[in-house]
Amino acid sequence: MKNLYKNILYVLALGITFASCENYLDDVPKGSKTPTTLADFEAFIRDEYGNQVVNVEQAISLMNDRFQTAANLAYYRLTNANYMWDENADRIDLNQADETTYYRTYAGISTFNLIIENALTTTEAKEADKRILWAQAKMLRAMSYFTLTNFYADTYTTANASKLSVPLITSADINAPSKQVTIKEMYDFILKDVNEAIPYLPKVSQTALHPNLGAGYAFYSRVYLQMNNYTEALKYADMALAENNKLFDWVAYYNANKTVIDLPNSYTTTPSPMGYNYVENYTFRHGSSYSLGRELSIPVERAQRFEAGDLKYKSRWKIRTVGADTYYYSTMSGMYNFGGITTVEVYLIKAECLARENKISEALTILNTIRKTRILPASYADISTTDKTTALNAIFNTKRNELILTLIPFADARRLNAEGTYPFSLSKVVGGVTYNLSSTSHMWTMPFPQGATQNPGNGTITQNVAK
């Protein structure tokens, strides 16, 4: 899925942005084609390594979901502060680099703005096809803003609603003004984009990179869950699952590949089933390790939090020691849908919503349905309880494991910590010293990079954290 057309990148304003269509068409690079047809603009969505990457590196480091070598921690001071939960570190001062999360996400937003501005007036296309591309760009823009606001701003609550979120830009013009809107205003904007897109999303899209109707409903469910609106989250989870309710059989995958997977001291890879054709996909987007061909390694302490007999985990990582570092190394190669949306996330949203309504039995039926496709039969037993807290914690733990290396465990932890009823904290021992990340730590909100605050373009940016 190579991009068919290359944009000019302008490293200005809020980072990397595309020039406005008007200015861009006035100055086309030699050998490049002026975008006028729907196919020209549709090609931007196929630019998967530019516009379809959801990099949340610092979030997965804070969660300790990614293993960091001693060398990395010594060199990357911001990563060290997050990974070691150093609450005294001035992360604003340390975040001097052009952070990928910020700049690449805004570059994608500018591309989606370009499509939204031009798709309905393009040539050589039917009106219905124009509307589909316009709607898909709206979906991808909304998903991108969800990432930014759940990274650089406090999580959504009634108390936090009037706090500042991230800059909102709705034009691809290089001189477009920006406004750092409130958290409520950003969520209203995200919901509006999805609401306008859904009537035109196809049930089946042309590639996994193009959001379909199921993706629209699934993302709606994700957003409403983050807003603690369990009624709407459940409603759209059901609608998404009506479009796609498939679960991948990891027990069958393990059985087909166990000769390689179980070979001692061997790191020969097996093919990733989590690529473009993964049956659980609603829409595919790359994550932080998109260019490696392997998943990121995970710490030993993190590996211990997977359920006994979890074959999805066992099929993906194996313990390895290199020098002074011991960690779980990826034994799978290929592509991974770490930035899109899958059915397992929606099933677990539904399970949480049901449990919160005290429909414990129904919630656990969903949870156990997922687990049966993951857990070694000899290790499997239904989770059974009538206690709401026990059921919810089982759902939360499964979701953290299922969606490891994505934004969602970080976003969920922030949501639960803000709620206060089911707080999430972390603890580890390194070199005989105990380190803790409390549920109330300021570190759950990431600082804007200095390049953004010092060069805010046609707007202003206020830091959302003190350090």
CATH number of the 9-210 domain:
1.25.40.390
Beta partners for 270?
Answer: 332
Q: What is the mean pLDDT of residues 329-344?
A: 96
pLDDT score for 290: 72
pLDDT score for 97: 73
pLDDT score for 218: 98
DSSP secondary structure letters along 2-49:
--SS-PPEEEETTEEEEPPHHHHHHSPPTTPPPP-BHHHHHHHHT-TT
pLDDT score for 32: 55
pLDDT score for 29: 43
Closest among 345, 104, 155, 132 to 247, alpha carbons compared: 345
Tokens representing 357 are: 């309504």
The Cα–Cα gap between 409 and 370 comes to 17
Residue 404 has pLDDT above 90, yes or no: yes
Q: Are 113 and 14 in contact (CB under 8 A)?
A: no
Pairing of strands 325-330, 281-283: unpaired
Q: Are 106 and 17 in contact (CB under 8 A)?
A: yes
Provide the mean pLDDT of the chain. 91
Beta partners for 317?
Answer: 330
User: pLDDT, tens digit, for every residue of 375-386?
Assistant: 999 999 999 999
User: pLDDT, tens digit, for every residue of 143-176?
Assistant: 999 999 999 999 999 999 999 999 999 999 888 8
Q: What is the mean pLDDT of residues 214-240?
A: 98
- Cα–Cα separations (whole angstroms), residue 431 to 115, 297, 302, 434: 52, 20, 17, 8
Give the number of other Cβ atoms within 10 Å of residue 162's Cβ: 10
Q: What is the pTM of this model?
A: 0.92
Percent of the chain exceeding pLDDT 70 equals 92
Residue 123 has pLDDT above 90, yes or no: no
Band (pLDDT 50/70/90 cuts) for residue 124 is confident
Phi, psi at 37, each rounded to 5°: -90, 165
The Cα–Cα gap between 171 and 19 comes to 10
Q: Are 179 and 169 in contact (CB under 8 A)?
A: no
Residue 97, SS3? Answer: coil
User: pLDDT, tens digit, for every residue of 295-311?
Assistant: 999 999 999 999 999 99
